[in-house]
Amino acid sequence: MTMSQQAAPAVTSPPASGPKERDGRTAQRSLVLRLLARPEVGVFLGAVAVFVFFFAMAPTFRSGSAMATVLYQSSTIGIMALPVALLMIGGEFDLSAGVAVITSALTASMVSFQLTMNVWVGVFVALLVSLGIGAFNGWMMVRTGLPSFLVTLGTFLGLQGINLAVTKLITGNVATDDISDMDGFDQARAVFSSSFTVGGVQFKVTVLWWLGFAALATWVLLRTKYGNWIFAVGGNKDSARAVGVPVKFTKISLFMLVGFGAWFVGMHQLFAFNTVQSGEGVGQELIYIAAAVIGGCLLTGGYGSAIGPVFGAFMFGMVSQGIVYAGWNPDWFKAFLGVMLIGATLINLWVQKSATRR
């Protein structure tokens, strides 16, 4: 037999055509299941249900001014819920987010008023303080290995005491002084707390900031290397570190993003009301976390989106204002939110199981 004959490939007849069998691993999932796999789909359906409910039950809810109020309420929650959601996707919590908002506002107010400086100086100092708080939380967590729950709980208690004690020490009161007549106030209010009119209805500028931040966060999560890092460290930080993900940088920077959000919301509160009560903010951190969880972010990390918390915050805004417009006792608000949180968590769990079922 010649060499050319040895190299000749064997000729075999093609297999008979017939129906191809595909197991659950290779079968193409239906469009419905692929949609259900998205973390924001469940909360979107929930938001639609809440909207329809209050639209039917509360005639006042149907007006343009009522919707403007709902969107404003949602935006003040949603701006903070976005960085909190990113942090949760990264596998961590921040229980100091609520009081950090007040710390930021107090800092800007007292630096400006007590030192008789342009309010923009106070705004800048407050930004540094807020980023510093976030950096401290992140550094302490990665340095000591303590759970972020414990680290930020300590920060929460510390800031709560500092807010009240320092304000009393400097101003002699539990609230800061009115800064509405100081240099730069009007310009700062235009940035953080102005209004615009659409169709004869006034909307707060925080709504635009909220949607803009949501679009930016979505782009970062889905289109950047940093977004991949967030999902990686939230899924398994040891595996992420093994493939070159800068775990410490990612964790610390996520806490600093929460600090940035606290600064922005704090500036809005200061320039919307001219003064700040030092005891406020307690409990708000749970609202931010709840909006993220309702929005599809898992408590275990590694899963979620930026759009989901937008709908989660919108649900909070609709419930808080819808109860008032329906003429119900507002004392039921927190009970309603508790039921909504548990229900949304169960729906998210069912959605994920349905999406992954064969």
pLDDT at 233: 94
Radius of gyration (C-alpha) of the chain in whole angstroms: 25
Q: What number of CA atoms fall less than 13 Å from residue 143's CA on the CB side?
A: 8
* pLDDT at residue 31 tops 70: no
Residue 333 burial (CB < 10 Å; 0-12/13-18/19+)? middle
Place 26 in a pLDDT band, splitting at 50, 70 and 90: very low
Task: Extract the tokens encoding 28.
Answer: 């193409």
Taking residues 81-86, report their average pLDDT: 96
54, 325 Cβ separation under 8 angstroms: yes
Q: Which of 11-15, 90-94, 122-126, 170-174 is most confident?
A: 122-126
* pLDDT at residue 271 tops 90: yes
